[in-house]
Amino acid sequence: MSIIIKSLHIYPIKSCAGIDLLRSPISAAGLRHDRQWMIVDTAGRFMTQRQWPRMALIRVGIETGTLRLQAPGRADCAVDIGVPVQGAAIQTAVWNDPLHVLDMGDAVAAWLSETLGTACRLVAQDPAQRRLASLERVQAWIARQGETDFPLEHAFGFADGYPLLVTSQGSLEELNRVIQTDGDEPVGMDRFRPNIVLEGLEGYDEDYVAQLQIGAVRIALVKPCARCSMPDIDPLTAASGNQPGKALARTRQQADGIMFGQNGVASAPEGAELRVGQEVEIEYAF
């Protein structure tokens, strides 16, 4: 069976609902518009579903020059993104990466604060700042593969650590078999918030993949993705449970945590894009 891209996804606002795509431009920063905005509290700390599960219910659309936010029981909120952000700079951090970000204004801040029940603001990336994926991890991958032309630096947005997350349908099916042996309902791939979902791999085969070749695009899988409690939040209801975390803890515990999916970085020519159904060539690490 050939390996193909089963689905593509972006999450324009970190920790809010995603958008399913049929095709997407791709660059060293990942898929276009992925995690380019973020919600912060009054102290400038970034907010996620871990503490604010209702963020899962905030749906985001991107129109020409406009970010459109929707939530149950709320009128839509339109945010102008077609002109350079003029908001004040805010000091924040994404995990260990300190960042200056740009405030998106009072109107969207009021909408988000009312929706989430806590004072918060929407911020955007400062184009003057470059946040890089782990140079150590990328360099180690380059050394293992003996690559000479793969870029070392990959600047990206507000994702936790890397511009791309790759998962496989086979792994989800394997996980759901374990979940169902517990007497629980299977979960969807949206629990894991991937960018690229592959079809045609056996369960957890991505653990042994070094590189994806998709047309002219190369994606290096540089680090397994350690999972927190967020996949236990139902993205349709924002209700918290104990799956898939329970099944993952029993079957996917590794030295650095509980793993599902692989973090990736891309080498892509200008104008490159990915498409659902596109064939994927796999280079294994052994």
- Please write the tens of the pLDDT for every residue from 69-114: 999 999 999 999 876 666 677 888 898 888 889 999 999 999 999 9
Q: pLDDT at position 1, please?
A: 66
Strand pairing report for 19-21 and 77-80 = unpaired
How far, CA to CA in Å, does 64 sit from each of 61, 78, 81, 83?
10, 11, 9, 11
Helix ranges restricted to H, 93-222: 106-116, 135-145, 169-181
Q: pLDDT at position 129, please?
A: 86
The model carries a pTM of 0.96
Nearest in space to 163 (alpha carbons), one of 32, 62, 56? 32
Q: pLDDT at position 128, please?
A: 84
Phi and psi angles of residue 143, each rounded to the nearest 5 degrees, phi first? -65, -45
- What are the CB-based long-range contacts (under 8 Å, 24+) for 184-188? 184/243, 184/246, 184/247, 185/243, 187/231, 187/243, 187/244, 188/235
CATH homologous superfamily of 4-33+131-284 = PK beta-barrel domain-like (2.40.33.20)
Half-sphere exposure of 283 (CA within 13 A, CB side): 14
Could you list the pLDDT tens digit for every one of the 286 residues in the chain?
699 999 999 999 999 999 999 999 999 999 999 999 999 999 999 999 999 999 999 999 998 889 999 999 999 999 998 766 666 778 888 988 888 899 999 999 999 999 999 999 999 988 888 999 999 999 999 999 998 899 999 999 999 999 999 999 999 999 999 999 999 999 999 999 999 999 999 999 999 999 999 999 999 999 999 999 999 999 999 999 999 999 999 999 998 899 999 999 999 999 999 999 999 999 998 7
Q: Considering Cα of 13, then 18, then 24, then 30, what sign does the dihedral take? A: positive
Strand pairing report for 217-226 and 37-41 = unpaired
Cα–Cα distance between 16 and 135 in angstroms, integer?
Answer: 28
CB-based contacts of 245, cutoff 8 Å, min separation 6: 227, 229, 231, 232, 258
Domain limits, CATH 2.40.33.20, in the chain: 4-33+131-284
Q: pLDDT at position 83, please?
A: 67
Segment (H or E) for 245: helix 245-251
For residue 208, give the 3-state DSSP assignment.
Answer: helix
Q: pLDDT at position 87, please?
A: 67
